[in-house]
Chain A
Amino acid sequence: MIPLWIFDLLGLGTIGSPVLLLTVFGLSALAPWPLSERAMARWTAACVSSGLLSLSIIAAIMLATGLRHVPVEIGDWVSLPEEGFHFHLKFIFDPLSIPFAALTFVLAGTVGAFASRYLHREPGYGRFFVYFAVFLLGMIVAALAGTIETLFLGWELVGLSSALLVAFFHERPAPVFNAQRVWSVYRIADAAFMVAALTLHRVAGAGDFAILAGSDAWPLGQSPLTSAQALGVGLLLLIAASGKSALFPFSGWLPRAMEGPTPSSAVFYGALSVHLGAYLLLRVSPILELSTILCAAIVVVGLTSAVFGAIVGRTQTDVKSALAHASLTQVGLITAEIGLGLRYIPLIHMIGHASLRTLQLLRSPSLLHDYRMLENAIGTRLQHKDEWPTRWLSPASRRRLYRIGLNRGWLDETIDRFLSRPFARIFRWCDRMERRWTDLLAGRRSRESDQVVPASSLSEEP
Chain B
Amino acid sequence: MERLHFSWLQLGLLLPLLGAIWTRTRRDPIVARRHGLIVSGLTLGCMIGAWIDFRLIAAPEARDLWDPLSSLWGRELLAIDGLNAPLLAMGSLVYYLTILSTLRAKAGEFSISWTLLSESVLLATFAAATPWGVVTMMSLGALPPYAELLRRKRPSRVYLAHMGLFVVLLILGEYGVSRAGTHAEQALVPILLLTLATLLRSGVAPVHCWMTDLFEHATFGRALLFVTPMVGAYGVARLVLPIAPDWALEVISLMSLFTAIYAAGMALVQREARRFFCYLFLSHSSLVLVGIETATPIGLTGSLSLWLSASLSLTGFGLALRCVEARVGRSLMTEFQGLYEHIPMMAGLFLLAGLATIGFPGTAGFVGLELLVNAAARALPFVGISIVIVAALNGLAVIQAYFRIFAGPPRSSSIDLRIRPSERIAILIISALILGGGLYPRAGVRDRHEAAVRLLQARAGGEAPSPPEHQPIAKFTNAPGSP
A-side residues, CB < 8 A to B, are: 29-30, 76-80, 82-83, 85, 87, 123, 127, 152-153, 156-157, 160, 163, 167, 170-171, 173, 176, 179-180, 183-184, 187-188, 190-191, 194-195, 198, 201-202, 423-424, 426-428, 430-431, 434, 437-438, 441-444, 446-449, 452, 454-456, 458-461
Contacts and interface: CB of A to CB of B under 8 A. Distances in A.
B399 interface: yes
A83 B301 contact: yes
B370 interface: yes
Contacts of A443: 157
Q: Return the 5 tightest CB-CB contacts between A and B, nearest first.
A: A170-B407, A449-B272, A459-B335, A83-B298, A187-B392
A455 B406 CA distance: 14
B407 A438 contact: no
Contacts of B337: 456
Contact of A194 (B157, B335, B345, B373): B373
B332 A452 contact: yes
Interface of B: 155, 157-158, 161, 209, 212-213, 216-217, 262, 265-266, 268-272, 274-275, 297-298, 301, 328-332, 334-338, 340-341, 344-345, 348, 355, 360-362, 367, 370-371, 373-374, 377-378, 384-385, 388-389, 391-393, 395-396, 399-400, 403, 406-410, 428, 431, 441-442, 445-446, 449, 480-481
A78 B445 contact: yes
Contacts of A163: 399
A461 B335 contact: yes
Contacts of A167: 403, 407
B377 A190 contact: no
A449 B216 contact: yes
A424 B333 CA distance: 14
- Interface on chain B toward A: helix, strand, loop, or mixed SS? helix
A187 B396 contact: yes
A438 B158 contact: yes
B361 A460 contact: no
Given A441-B157, A449-B330, A459-B332, A153 B400 contact: no
B213 A446 contact: yes
A431 B334 contact: no
A449 B213 CA distance: 10
B265 A423 contact: yes
17 contacts: A29-B345, A80-B298, A83-B449, A152-B361, A167-B403, A173-B407, A180-B396, A430-B265, A431-B269, A434-B209, A438-B212, A438-B213, A446-B213, A448-B216, A456-B336, A458-B409, A460-B334
Contacts of B212: 434, 438
Given A80-B371, A152-B361, A454-B332, 14 more contacts: A80-B445, A157-B361, A171-B410, A184-B396, A191-B388, A191-B391, A191-B392, A427-B268, A438-B212, A449-B271, A449-B330, A452-B330, A452-B332, A461-B334
B184 to A, nearest CB: 31
Contacts of B262: 430
A427 B216 contact: no
Given A191-B388, A455-B335, A448 B217 contact: yes
Query: Interface majority SS on A: helix, strand, loop or mixed?
Result: helix
A188 B391 CA distance: 10
A458 B155 contact: no
A77 B442 contact: yes
A83 to B, nearest CB: 4
A427 B158 contact: no
Nearest to B329: A452
B408 A156 contact: no
Contacts of A198: 373-374, 377, 384
Contacts of A446: 155, 158, 213, 216
A454 B407 CA distance: 15
Contacts of B392: 187-188, 190-191
A153 B298 contact: no
Nearest to B216: A448
Nearest to B305: A78
B281 to A, nearest CB: 16
Given A77-B442, A437-B209, A438-B209, A82 B481 contact: yes
B158 A449 contact: no
A461 B220 CA distance: 24
Given A78-B442, A430-B266, A448-B216, A461 B158 contact: no
Contacts of B297: 82-83
Of B155, B161, B212, most buried by chain A (CB within 10 Å of CB) is B155
A82 to B, nearest CB: 5
Which of A85, A156, A171, A173 has the most chain B CB atoms closer than 10 A to its own CB?
Answer: A85
A30 B367 contact: no
A152 B374 CA distance: 15
B379 to A, nearest CB: 12
Given A82-B481, A170-B340, A170-B407, A195 B388 contact: yes
Contacts of A447: 216
Most buried by B among A152, A423, A444, A447: A447
Contacts of A191: 388-389, 391-392
Contacts of B216: 446-449
Contacts of B334: 454, 459-461
A261 B348 CA distance: 20
Nearest to B270: A431
Contacts of A85: 298, 371, 374
A188 B389 CA distance: 8
Contacts of B446: 80
A437 B362 CA distance: 41
B370 A87 contact: yes
Contacts of B213: 438, 442, 446
A449 B209 contact: no
B166 to A, nearest CB: 14
A458 B332 CA distance: 11
B209 A194 contact: no
Contact of A187 (B348, B385, B395): B395
A441 B266 contact: no
Contacts of A187: 392-393, 395-396
A441 B361 contact: no
Contacts of A431: 266, 269-270
Contact of B367 (A78, A179, A201, A438): A78
A456 B332 CA distance: 10
Contacts of A202: 377-378
A195 B371 CA distance: 13
A80 B301 contact: yes
A226 B362 CA distance: 33
A438 B334 CA distance: 23
B442 A424 contact: no
A61 B320 CA distance: 50
A29 B346 CA distance: 11
B157 A442 contact: yes
Contacts of A152: 361
A48 B355 CA distance: 27
A458 B157 contact: no
B360 A156 contact: yes
A193 B468 CA distance: 45
A157 B363 CA distance: 12
A426 B98 CA distance: 35
Contact of A428 (B269, B362, B370, B442): B269
Contact of B209 (A184, A195, A424, A441): A441
A456 B408 contact: yes
A342 B25 CA distance: 79
B408 A30 contact: no
A112 B16 CA distance: 53
A454 B217 contact: no
B408 A194 contact: no
B217 A156 contact: no
A349 to B, nearest CB: 30
Contacts of B340: 170
B265 A426 contact: yes
A253 to B, nearest CB: 13
A179 B410 CA distance: 19
Contacts of B481: 82-83
Contacts of B428: 30
